[in-house]
């Protein structure tokens, strides 16, 4: 059986439970489902929103490549990865990863692997919008994200 990841880049919000149900309900062999939902932080009350941009077509292709790697490496029985774009207010959803596997460790590792690579390899950019109305700089990549990704090599 070939497992094909569900990959979406979208402006609209997502429903975590609906995505879990879509991936796992009635599917044989699934013993564990792990979710990761990334939210827009308010950065100590100073951030109103993040503006996320992506490279259309390339973002989806990279997310699919990462998803295919995770499915193969961890024996996942299902994978959903959704990344939003546009202006996202503090507290709102940005990203969702749902990994399904026969056992919990594979699901945990699969979800973590996908997030570590999404943060470093998928072409998304974030710009800060302060509560004071100021538009900040584009958010720079973090060395910690590279370190997290590199543990999988």
Domain covering 6-150: architecture: Alpha-Beta Complex (3.90)
Order of all β-strands in the sheet with 93-101: 6-10, 78-84, 93-101, 32-39
For the whole model, what pTM was predicted? 0.94
Residue ranges in the chain modelled with pLDDT below 70: none
Phi, psi of 79 (to 5 degrees): -155, 130
Q: Can you give the pLDDT at residue 50? A: 96
- Tens-digit pLDDT profile for residues 45-86: 999 999 999 999 999 999 999 999 999 999 999 999 999 999
Residues of 112-139 as b/e, b for ≥16 C-beta within 10 angstroms?
A: bbbbbbbbbebebebebbeeeeeeeeee
Q: Can you give the pLDDT at residue 137? A: 78
Q: Taking a C-beta distance cutoff of 8 angstroms, is the pair 81, 6 a contact?
A: yes
Q: Can you give the pLDDT at residue 121? A: 93
d(CA 39, CA 11) in angstroms, rounded, equals: 14
Tell me the helices (H) and strands (E) count for the chain, helix number first: 4, 8
Q: Can you give the pLDDT at residue 153? A: 87
Sequence spans of domains, the chain: 6-150
Q: Can you give the pLDDT at residue 131? A: 92
């Amino acid at each position: 059986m070939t497992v094909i990841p569900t990959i979406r880049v979208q402006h609209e919000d997502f429903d975590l439970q609906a995505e879990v149900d879509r991936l796992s309900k009635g599917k044989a062999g699934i013993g564990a489902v792990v979710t990761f939902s990334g939210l827009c932080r308010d950065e100590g009350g100073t951030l109103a929103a993040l503006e996320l941009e992506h490279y259309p077509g390339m973002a989806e292709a990279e997310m699919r490549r990462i998803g295919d790697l995770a499915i193969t490496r961890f024996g996942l029985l299902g994978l959903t990865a959704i990344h939003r774009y546009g202006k996202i207010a503090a507290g709102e959803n940005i990203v969702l990863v749902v990994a399904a596997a026969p056992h919990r460790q594979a699901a945990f590792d699969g979800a973590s692997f996908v997030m570590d690579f999404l943060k470093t390899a998928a072409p998304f950019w974030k710009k800060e919008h302060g509560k004071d109305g100021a538009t900040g700089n584009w958010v720079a990549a973090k060395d910690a994200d590279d370190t997290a990704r590199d543990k999988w090599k």
